[in-house]
Amino acid sequence: MKRQVFIVVAVCLMVLPACAGNGRTQYASDARIVVDQQYVNEVNNVSRNTGVSVTWINPPTKRIPLIDNSDD
């Protein structure tokens, strides 16, 4: 019985990664995700003026469209 459970678990662990995608979607391929430096700078300036300490754990991001140069 233990051997059958082991085999079933092993097969599942080998098959499930095949279901995973490559992580790229159509939306993700049309844009780059970058840190929104303008917003970060604004918040940091206000925090310095008010004496508050800000530590960015997950800085705000924005999507930048990729430039398509394939027509050249």
Q: What is the 3-state secondary structure (H, E, C) of 27-70?
A: HHHCEEEEECHHHHHHHHHHHHHHCCCCCCCCCCEEEEECCCCC
In a domain, 38, yes or no: yes
pLDDT band at 45 (very low <50, low <70, confident <90, very high): very high
To the nearest 10°, report the CA torsion of 54, 58, 63, 64. 60
Give the model's pLDDT for residue 58: 94
In a domain, 55, yes or no: yes
- Please state the domain count of the chain: 1
In a domain, 10, yes or no: no
pLDDT at 26 over 90: no
In a domain, 3, yes or no: no
pLDDT band at 63 (very low <50, low <70, confident <90, very high): confident
pLDDT at 6 over 80: yes
**How many whole angstroms separate alpha carbon 27 and alpha carbon 65?**
10
Q: Is 61 in contact with 37 (CB distance < 8 Å)?
A: no
pLDDT band at 2 (very low <50, low <70, confident <90, very high): confident
Q: Which domain holds residue 46?
A: 24-66
In a domain, 4, yes or no: no
